[in-house]
């Protein structure tokens, strides 16, 4: 039931992302942009993801980056024209341009805090399928994959107000190490060691 994230899943993942995180900045950029972003993550050497399928449809996903700076660079290099085209109607807003820059430069800010390069980027489960352990299974499998790629630590940022997600990360073993403000929202920064998720553990 769990498969690697592939380009052809991107539209369903975009739908889950927007439904699950409707007030997020990425969601505000529109379904076509979000789908293109997940296509780019699936194709980047610095990104990977997993999808949870039930009855032939994607009901949950998780996306990881093994190196967030490398991911942004690889995505921009390959998709600058198509992304520019998808965003052109939105770039007239100063707030949007500011948020895009904040997103792009956040990896450099995190370097000064010596945070791991690898990051759990996003996760969402369809509302009807929540509470069944799908998110926990997806994250554990993703961390196993990170461990097998010799990535020792993974970070995740989550809005402080998102209680279900904060509880989820804590239950998996992520430890909160700081708080940052991004796009005017206070986010908790968690880090987990992947050695507990080694396939041989
Ligand atoms: C957060 C989210 C991914 C959890 O998915 P899920 O499949 O329901 O989570 P799981 O069933 O695997 O739950 C894992 C643990 O988190 C806890 N948890 C999950 N949802 C919870 C809730 N609403 N309230 C309290 N605890 C919760 C559970 O207690 C569970 O621990 P347990 O197995 O020891 O009981 C889901 O609510 C979602 O898609 N939310 C919208 C998207 C989002 O906020 N993503 C995170 C930001 S990127």
**By C-alpha distance, which of 62, 48, 57, 64 is closest to 17?**
62
Protein residue with least CA distance to atom 41, ligand 1:
20
Structural domain harbouring 148: 2-197
| Strand extents, DSSP E, the chain | 2-4, 47-54, 57-65, 119-125, 153-159, 175-182, 185-193
Whether 104 has a pLDDT exceeding 70, the answer reads no
Protein residue with least CA distance to atom 5, ligand 1:
135
Highest-pLDDT range among 72-86, 106-120, 171-185? 171-185
Count how many domains the chain has.
1
CATH number at residue 17: 3.40.630.30
Could you read off the pLDDT of 26-56 as tens digits, one per residue?
A: 898 889 989 999 999 999 999 999 999 999 9
Whether 10 has a pLDDT exceeding 70, the answer reads yes
What is the Å distance from ligand 1's center to 94 Cα?
Answer: 34
């Amino acid at each position: 039931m769990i498969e690697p994230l592939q380009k052809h899943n991107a539209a369903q993942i975009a739908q889950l992302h927007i439904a699950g995180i409707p007030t997020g900045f990425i969601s505000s950029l529109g379904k076509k942009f979000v789908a293109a972003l997940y296509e780019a993550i699936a194709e980047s050497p610095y990104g990977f993801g997993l999808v949870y399928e039930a009855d032939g449809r994607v009901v949950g996903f998780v996306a990881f980056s093994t190196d967030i700076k490398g991911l942004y660079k690889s995505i921009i290099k390959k998709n600058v024209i198509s992304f520019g085209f998808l965003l052109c109607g939105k770039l007239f807003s100063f707030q949007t341009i500011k948020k895009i820059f904040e997103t792009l430069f956040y990896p450099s800010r995190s370097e000064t805090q010596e945070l791991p390069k690898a990051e759990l980027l996003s996760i969402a489960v369809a509302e009807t399928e929540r509470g069944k352990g799908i998110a926990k299974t997806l994250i554990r499998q993703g961390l196993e994959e990170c461990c097998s790629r010799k990535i020792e630590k993974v970070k995740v940022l989550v809005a402080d107000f998102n209680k279900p997600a904060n509880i989820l990360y804590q239950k998996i073993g992520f430890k909160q190490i700081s708080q940052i403000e991004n796009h005017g929202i206070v986010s908790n920064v968690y880090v987990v060691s992947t050695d507990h998720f080694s396939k041989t553990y």
